[in-house]
Amino acid sequence: MDLNRLDVIFFDSRDHELIRIVNSVYDADIRPGYVRKLYYRFFHPLGIKELAESKGLHTAYAIVSLLESMERGGIENRLAALRALKDEVLDTADGPMPKNTARVLLQIMKELVRAKGNDARQLALAHTFRLAAFGKPRLVRKLLAHYHLLEMPEEWNQVTFDDHVHDANTSGRKSPTHLIMDVWIKGIRRLRVIYYHYIEPRFALELIEAAKIMEIDLRIGIEFKTRYRDRYVSFIWVSRGLTDAESFLCFLAEPHVVQFMAQGKQVLKFQEKQVLNLLQRFNEQHLKEMCRHLDIDLPPLCPEDFLNFAFPGQPCVPHLAEFIHATALEAMKKRVAELHEIFNQADETKQAQIRTRMEQMDQFHVKQILDTYLIPGQHPDIFESFITADDPDLPARLKLTHIQFLESIGQLLCDFRITLKLDNLAAEDVLEILYESKGLVTRLEIINLKNFVSGKTDHLFAVNELQKAINGNSLLKLKRQVRQIISRVQKSAPPDHGDQLVKLYPILYDIDALKNMYASYPLKSRLGSDSTGKSHQTYGMGFGIINTLPFRAQKQIHTQKKDRLILPANISVSQQMTAVSTEKMHRFFQWILSVLQWLPGLDQIRFVKKKEWVFESFSLDMKKKGNVVTLGGMQKQNTNGLLPEEDLSGIRKTSLFRIWKNLNTKLKNSLKITLGFIPAFVCFFLTKDWWFLAWFGAFIWFGITGFRVVLQSVLGGGGLKRSSLTKWNNYVSWDRLTDALFFTGFSVPLLDWLVKTTLLDNTLGINTHTSPLALYAVMGLVNGLYLSAHNAFRGLPKGMVTGNFFRSILSIPVALAFNTAIGGILFFFNVPGVDAVLQKWAAIISKAASDTVAGVIEGAVDRFQNLNLRKRDVKKKFTDLFDTYAKLEMLFPETEELKILEKPEALFASRNAEVKDLAVMVIIHSLDLFYFWMYQPRARMTILDMVSRLTPEERTIFFQSQHILVHEQHISRLFVDGILGRHFSRPLSFYLTTYPKYLASIEREAHAFVEP
């Protein structure tokens, strides 16, 4: 079937526009005009640039700009794109699940970018992106599950972490900014990024700034290897007290630190030499074997090509395996193309052989290279991490013992933490190192996920028992643990057990000193995934404590056990709640609390401001599962994409959900209304003997529902005091309206036929004549249950589900009032058979009462939500405006304060480029506030309220900044020059026709605020 024909049925024009934006960012020839504009990122996402591009499109643009900058941009571009992304997506997502919605949008956009070239898949993903942008909980949860993401609490207070990950500057795949974005998508709140032997300042700067933007608790660690007996052990050094990028960069610039890092560079150069030797050995011994196995031809691999492939990372064995795989993949693609031509002309036997060969190539992956050709045992003369070698070129750093290293690193910074990695270390080794470190080692990487999954777990329980004994209060338990370790060494008799026993026995006589080393700072545990973002790893990064996640996420973890790994670690946490100070409450609530302060337990029902989880204890039991789960799911078997692909568009699949999801929006909304209207019309037509109700009852029922949605939207958006530029239909969510009409149609046979007629009237004899209270009470209760049921089905928040049940109960007295009023009117006009008429209209009366109550209550809820959103938006704009003005004041030290904006013409004509830029930024902030005032729901009330709370100086700055909008010629030139891109006609027209009216309103308010 032709995809273009399907577009009319299945997709929207905005889906194609979204794809155009995505692809244009990656096409240097047809980029949008505003891509590299200097000022675009200073506009608020919900401000005047909404007139230039729809929110969905400039949200998509922000995401794609970040993804593009990760591939081709510099550090500053990546950080600027990340800031724009946070403003556009994370701070303005819609729906009851804004953070989870933002996570889904980011993930879909990543897939959309990767699908470039596959038009059908891009179209399906673009449509899904626009659907997800509405923030419907049911769809958001489906997409979270599809992308193997766990739902996170919207309070964003989950305990999620990873104490060991890598970025592209070491052995990872992602740039620091890309890594931080993916960390946020995973829901991780605490992160430790590890570098090998040294770190460049520019890498640290990008990582710290990116984490600050996304509000992630970041620690940067440096891993060092030192000699311990016949092998190397690893320590991870983490600084403390360096709270921002500036302090960390100053630390790295200190002479003794520069010298220390230079020694680390020597280690990496030595490692590079060893990896290049391994590449040469592969060319000599394994390349021909691999080519025979894959039926391909490859020349010897070039060392320069490998170094370019690994850049900017540090050359290592995993990088070498990936380079070999990437080179072989290009040859395999050519060979597969040749085999395709042979396949069509071959007999069945030959076709089976070709198919087997192609499957073999398709399943050839990096792990196979590591396990087959790059095993350390095959190359004993080449340096390997855990076996020391006598090499004349061995750097001085690698000649240090662990004692010498710990002594030297203590001179770097006064406040730091050191973690001991447990790779190939038994409990006796850990005990010896801890004692000789004299308390400098304060952390144990008790679980390294890469080693844990590969089965290297025999030593963990014994090490954890030692750790608990050291941190415990009993010297007897610690002595028992030390004796058990010594006894185990004596029985196992390792090659160096004699020397080790000489080290362990003195510890037994110095137990008190060992315990005192950790009296002030307990020996803590660290859990790390050691993730590099490579596809050949089983699990991705991130861990979460199960009981800090939402109920649905917990249920998903326990029901889909194969998808994630529950570790045998148990971290006990308790919830801590912070109540709002009474001084910050509304006066009405302060009065209520003062009146009811004598009630016992009143403190327990105060308004909660924040909920946090507090760490209590850690334990490890290898025999049972704990409460720590991996956030990354089990990855499916990776293939090279060499076999013919199945149709990925999602259009031709028989899944009803996929077909419905990809329908054109207008067609889908029409179908929703039709599917809801059919049962309503059939019920009225078949059960009513009065022609008017039979033919028009369904229309009346739908009209009541529509009135409720409109009433709710208008009351929430602005009521009777809304801006003259916003009409009532600007506030109506048509998607919400069609959903309501769909579900309300099925309530007609439920309430009118089943409950009112069959159950109450025919069975129990309850009607408007015998017991109107019982009639409307039962109908209200059933309607409440139905509303709560379909709200729960749609995945709406529990508060909304519960509220819709109780609002139906509140509608009972309203229904009685309507019934009485209508009965009185009918009686006044001498209409015969009033009770019979009321009985026929009882379901509609109950529906009208319920929807009237719902419209008022939900409208009030929307009003509070809009007020909170406007407070957030206006507060950000005020902060940006005052920061910009402060910079202007610094550039004019001799000018009297609060006089700079009185003559903005001087700023426009200044020869100082920075002054001109700041003047433009003042205009931008003023335009956004102007747009808020005229268009955004409840913005006018919010701005005036916040202005009343400003200091006199801040108030003066605000009014002066708004007066800058009178400079029509200068601002119009900015629009024409592309400050908002090519589509500037609507915002320019809005500005020119409306700013006089806005400034007149602002002028009146300024006079009102003048102090007597």
pLDDT digits (tens, 9 = 90+) for 497-511: 678 888 899 999 999
| pLDDT, tens digit (0-9, with 9 covering 90-100), for 951-974 | 999 999 999 999 999 999 999 999
Question: From CA 479, how far away is CA 492, in angstroms rounded?
Answer: 20
% the chain with pLDDT above 90: 35
Question: Does 758 reside within a domain?
Answer: no
Under 8 Å CB-to-CB from 431, ≥6 apart: which residues? 466, 482, 485, 504, 507
717 CB contacts (<8 Å, ≥6 apart)? 726, 730, 731, 862, 866, 937, 938
- State the number of CA atoms in the 13 A half-sphere of 793 facing the CB: 8
For position 152, what pLDDT does the model report? 95
CA count, 13 A, side-chain hemisphere, 557: 26
Residue 608 pLDDT class (50, 70, 90 cuts): low
Q: Identify which of 927, 902, 908, 916 has the alpha carbon closest to the alpha carbon of residue 42.
A: 927
Report the DSSP pairing between strands 524-528 and 543-545.
unpaired
Q: How many CA atoms lie within 13 A of 788 on its CB side?
A: 17
Helix (H) or strand (E) holding 699: helix 691-717
- Regarding predicted confidence, which is higher, 54 or 875? 875
Strands 416-421 and 569-579: unpaired
Helices 317-343, 287-294: axis angle to 10 degrees equals 30
pLDDT interval class at 303 (50, 70, 90): very high
Asked if residue 49 lies in contact with residue 931, where contact means CB atoms within 8 angstroms, the answer is no
Q: Are residues 9 and 140 in the same domain?
A: yes
Q: Is 683 exposed, middle or buried (0-12, 13-18, 19+ CB in 10 A)?
A: buried
Query: Residue 910: CB partners within 8 Å, gap ≥ 6?
Result: 916, 919
- Residue type present at position 681: F
User: pLDDT-derived band of residue 182, with 50, 70 and 90 as boundaries?
Assistant: very high
Q: Alpha-carbon dihedral of residues 859, 864, 869, 875, nearest 10 degrees?
A: 150
Last residue of a domain, one of 329, 358, 385: 385
pLDDT at 82: 87
Tokens of 764: 């129990």
Please indicate, yes or no, if residue 472 is contained in any of the structural domains: no
Among 349, 364, 385, which residue terminates a domain? 385
In this predicted structure, what is the pLDDT of residue 36?
38
Whether 667 contacts 659, CB under 8 Å: no
Give yes or no for residue 316 having a pLDDT over 90: no
Residue 37's domain comprises 1-147
Helices (H), 718-796: 734-748, 772-793
Contacts of 716 (CB under 8 A, 6+ apart): 731, 858, 859, 860, 861, 862, 863, 865, 866, 937
Q: HEC string of 890-937?
A: HHCCCCCCCCHHHCHHHHHCCCCHHHHHHHHHHHHHHHHHHHHHHHCC
Whether residue 142 is found in the same domain as residue 275? no
pLDDT of residue 419: 96
| Residue 829 placed within a domain | no
Q: Residue for token digits 């790295």?
A: 252
Tokens of 373: 């050709």
Residues 6+ positions from 560 with CB-CB distance below 8 Å: none
Among 615, 641, 669, identify where a domain stops. Answer: 615
Q: Is residue 893 part of a domain?
A: no
Q: Averaged over 774-792, what is the pLDDT?
A: 86
Picking from 106, 592, 508, 644, the residue whose alpha carbon sits closest to that of residue 98 is 106
pLDDT at 585: 60
Domains contained in the chain, number: 3
d(CA 546, CA 187): 13
Residue 711 has pLDDT above 80, yes or no: no
For residue 18, is it within any domain?
Answer: yes
The larger pLDDT score, comparing residue 585 to residue 118, is at: 118
Residue 776 lies in a domain: no
Residue 729 resides in a domain:
no
pLDDT tens digit sequence for 890-913:
998 888 878 888 888 889 988 898
Please provide the average confidence, as pLDDT, over all residues in the chain.
Answer: 84
Kindly indicate the confidence band of residue 607, based on its pLDDT and cuts at 50, 70 and 90: low
Decide: residue 562, CB within 10 A, 0-12 exposed, 13-18 middle, 19+ buried: exposed
Tell me how far apart the alpha carbons of residues 334 and 349 are, in angstroms, rounded to a whole number: 22
What is the distance between the alpha carbons of residues 681 and 693, in angstroms, rounded to a whole number?
A: 10
Q: Which tokens is 543 given? A: 């861990």
Identify whether the C-beta of residue 979 lies closer than 8 Å to the C-beta of residue 919: no
Integer angstrom CA distances of residue 131 from 60, 125, 153, 586, 713 = 13, 10, 21, 38, 20
Residue 234 binned pLDDT confidence (cut-offs 50, 70, 90): very high
Task: Report which residue type is found at 990.
Answer: F
CA distance 520 to 667: 68
Residue 497 is predicted with a pLDDT of 65
Most confident residue range from 111-125, 673-687, 706-720:
673-687
Tokens of 288: 């021909």
Question: Residue 940 carries which side chain, given as an amino acid letter?
Answer: R
* pLDDT classification of 1010: cutoffs 50, 70, 90: low
Q: Across residues 157-171, what is the average pLDDT?
A: 93
Percent pLDDT > 70 in the chain is 87
Of 123, 121, 112, nearest to 10 (Cα)? Answer: 123
Which H or E element spans position 480? helix 475-492
Structure tokens at 754: 């089943």
CA pair distance 702, 888, nearest whole angstrom: 57
Q: Does residue 603 lie in a domain region?
A: yes
Q: Within 13 Å of residue 498, how many CA atoms lie on the same side as its CB?
A: 1
CA end-to-end span of the chain, whole Å? 76
Residue where the block lists tokens 């109908």: 779
Distance CA 654, CA 71 (A): 37
Residue type, 128: T
One domain for residues 6 and 141:
yes
Task: Determine the 3-state secondary structure of 666 from DSSP.
Answer: helix
Q: Is residue 351 within 8 Å of residue 343, measured between CB atoms?
A: yes
Q: What angle, 0 to 180 degrees and rounded to 10, lies between the N-to-C axes of helices 119-132 and 13-25?
A: 110
Summarize pLDDT for 525-576 with one digit per residue, the tens: 999 999 887 755 568 899 999 999 999 999 999 888 777 899 999 999 998 8
The dihedral over CA atoms of 990, 992, 993, 997, expressed in degrees to the nearest 10, equals 100
- Is residue 881's pLDDT more than 80? yes
